Amino acid sequence: MTDERGATRDRRNPYLVLGVDYGAPHDEVTAAYARRSRVARADSGYPYSIDDLVWALDEIERLNSTTQVAGASGIQGAAVTFRVPADPTVYEPPSGPGLLRPEPVPLRRRTRPAPRAEIAGLVTDARRDATAYALVQLAQQVERDLIAPAGRVRLLVPEPPRQPRSRGPWVALFAVLALAAVAVVLFVVGRGDDAVTEETTVAPPTTVFVVETAPAAQGFQTPIEADGLTITPTDPLSVFGYTCVLWQLGGAAPLAFDPAGAELDAAGVALHDDPAVRSERAPSAIDPAATEATAETCFPTGDSAPASAQVALSYTLPGATGPTPYRWNAVMP
C-alpha cells in the first residue's frame, strides 16, 4: 500500500523483526537490535539482514516518538502494525447468556398432548416388555449356569428303586401256551377226520405298551436284545423339568445309538430327546471299537410326567420300519 505522500510502506512488523513485545521500552528495543545484529553478521542464513534490523529499530523509535494525534502521520504508521493479545482467555465466550451465548428459546408445540389413558397404556406395554425380557434373560442365565456348561453341575443321584415286575408278560405267556395247546388238540383231532376243515388263526392277546420279545422284558434295568444289539435303560434322573436316562449298549462293534430314535410316552404325549441338555453321566461319543458303551438321552417332561407316573419308553433303530422290539414300561422316579 502507499501513503498519501506516495511512498511505499513496508508490510513487515518491526516488533516481530526485533523479537520484542508491542510497546517495549527503548532500552529493551536497542538491546534486541544489538543482539540480533551480532547474529545476523555471524550467520549468513539468518532470515533478517542488517538493513532489516535497522529499519525495524527506526520504525519502532519513530512510532514511540510520534504524538498519537488524530490526523497525524503517527496514527497512520501505527495502523499498519498488527498485533494479537497474548492472553488466550480473551477468545473464550463469557459465562451465562449474552451476545455470543443466547438463551434457549422453546419451539411452539406442533402435536396434541397425549391423553392420560394413552400414556398409561404405553407404560403398561413397557413394563410387560421389560418383564418378558427379564424372564428370557433369567432363563438363558439358568441354562448357561446349571445345564449347558460341562462339569459345572453333576446331576448324580443314588441308585433308583427297582420297578416291580409287571404280571403282563406272564399273562401273555400263559395265553400263548393255551392257544398252542388248543391248536395241538385241533390238529390231532383233524388228522382222524377225512373232511377238510377250515383253518382259522386267532391273534394272541396283547397288553398296553407291551411288545413280545425273546425274552419278554419291561421296566428300567431290563435288557432287550434284537438283531444282535442289547439295550438296557438305567438310572432315570428327573431334574429341572427334564428326565435323563442312561442306555447300556452291548453287541458287535461298531455300536450305533441315535438319541433321536428314543421316545418317552407320558400321558399320551410323545417326548423326544433334547440334544442341548445332558447330565454329563455318559461320554459324548461312542468308541467305534467298543463292544459295550453308555449313551444318554434327556426328555423335556416338565409337568407331564410327575413322580410315580406310568410311562412307556421305546427306541427305534435308524431306518427301521414297523413296530420296534425295544419297548419298556416304566415308573417315573
In terms of average pLDDT, the best of 46-55, 87-96, 99-108, 164-173 is: 46-55
- The pLDDT score that the predictor gives to residue 288 is 80
φ/ψ (deg, to 5) at 237: -140, 125
Whether 97 maps to a domain, the answer reads no
What is the CATH number for 327? 2.60.40
pLDDT score of 219 more than 50: yes
State the cell numbers at 163: 420297578
Q: How confident is the model at residue 328 (pLDDT cuts 50, 70, 90)?
A: confident
pLDDT per residue as tens digits for the range 109-141: 888 888 999 999 999 999 999 999 999 999 888
Whether 67 maps to a domain, the answer reads yes
Whether 68 maps to a domain, the answer reads yes
The tally of domains found in the chain comes to 2
pLDDT per residue as tens digits for the range 29-59: 999 999 999 999 998 889 999 999 999 999 9
Q: How confident is the model at residue 67 (pLDDT cuts 50, 70, 90)?
A: very low
Q: How confident is the model at residue 148 (pLDDT cuts 50, 70, 90)?
A: low
- The pLDDT score that the predictor gives to residue 79 is 44
Q: Which residue range forms the structural domain that includes residue 64?
A: 14-89
Domain stops at, among 89, 109, 138 = 89
Domain stops at, among 64, 89, 114 = 89
**Lowest-pLDDT range, 144-158, 267-281, 301-315?**
144-158
Q: How confident is the model at residue 192 (pLDDT cuts 50, 70, 90)?
A: low
| Mean pLDDT of the residues in the chain | 76
Q: Let me know: does 233 contact 221? Beta carbons within 8 Å.
A: yes
Whether 250 maps to a domain, the answer reads yes
Q: Let me know: does 22 contact 81? Beta carbons within 8 Å.
A: yes
- The pLDDT score that the predictor gives to residue 4 is 42
Whether 315 maps to a domain, the answer reads yes
Whether 188 maps to a domain, the answer reads no
Whether 65 maps to a domain, the answer reads yes
State the cell numbers at 304: 407331564
- The pLDDT score that the predictor gives to residue 207 is 39
Domain stops at, among 27, 55, 89 = 89
Whether 50 maps to a domain, the answer reads yes
Residue of higher predicted confidence among 95 and 295 = 295
For 276, half-sphere exposure in the C-beta direction (CA atoms, 13 angstrom radius) is 7
C-alpha 296/C-alpha 311 separation (Å) is 18
- Residue 185 region, left (φ>0) first, then alpha (ψ -120 to 50), else beta? alpha
